[in-house]
């Protein structure tokens, strides 16, 4: 059996692929640089608890992104999109509860919604 990297052939698959790459990069950033990443997400930079939580949580987006890229199955892109969607739900709840970084929070909420919409649109057949 030969293991090859399936390259996206359609526009929808390429956009879902880009969302998987973004998940991998976000997970790697949280794993390698938890302090600056915590600052980008609005968490306190100097707390060891925040960095250890980010490092612990970084493995899931890395793993899901790698598997979605390597297997290129619509159900994996569906799982990736649902994951990004619930990131957006959590960010919206955080914005409603705490309005400290409201402007940047809206930008990040928009990015989460976009990264959720790309693989979900491909998985449900809205993008060819």
* Cα–Cα distance measured from residue 68 to residue 4, given in angstroms and rounded to the nearest whole number: 13
Q: pTM above 0.75?
A: yes
For 105-124, the DSSP string reads HHHHHHHHHHHHHHHHHHHT
* Cα–Cα distance measured from residue 38 to residue 45, given in angstroms and rounded to the nearest whole number: 6
pLDDT value of residue 44: 57
Contacts of 43 by beta carbon, 8 Å cutoff, 6+ apart: 50, 54
Domain boundaries, the chain: 11-123
CA distance to 15, 30, 56, 81, per residue, from 53 (Å) = 29, 9, 5, 22
Can you give the pLDDT of all 128 residues of the chain as single tens digits? 677 788 999 999 999 999 999 999 999 988 887 777 666 655 555 555 566 666 777 889 999 999 999 999 999 999 999 999 999 998 899 888 877 667 888 888 999 999 999 999 999 999 88
């Amino acid at each position: 059996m030969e293991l090859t990297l399936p390259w996206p052939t359609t526009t929808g698959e390429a956009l879902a692929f880009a969302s998987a790459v973004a998940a991998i990069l976000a997970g790697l950033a949280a794993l390698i640089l938890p302090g600056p990443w915590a600052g980008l997400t609005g968490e306190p930079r100097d707390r060891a608890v925040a960095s250890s939580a980010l490092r612990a949580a970084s493995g899931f987006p890395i793993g899901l992104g790698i598997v979605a890229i390597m297997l290129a199955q619509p159900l994996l892109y569906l799982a990736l999109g649902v994951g990004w969607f619930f990131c957006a739900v959590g960010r919206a709840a955080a914005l409603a509860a705490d309005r400290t970084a409201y402007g940047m929070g809206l930008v990040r909420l928009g990015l989460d919604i976009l990264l959720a919409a790309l693989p979900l649109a491909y998985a449900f057949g809205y993008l060819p």
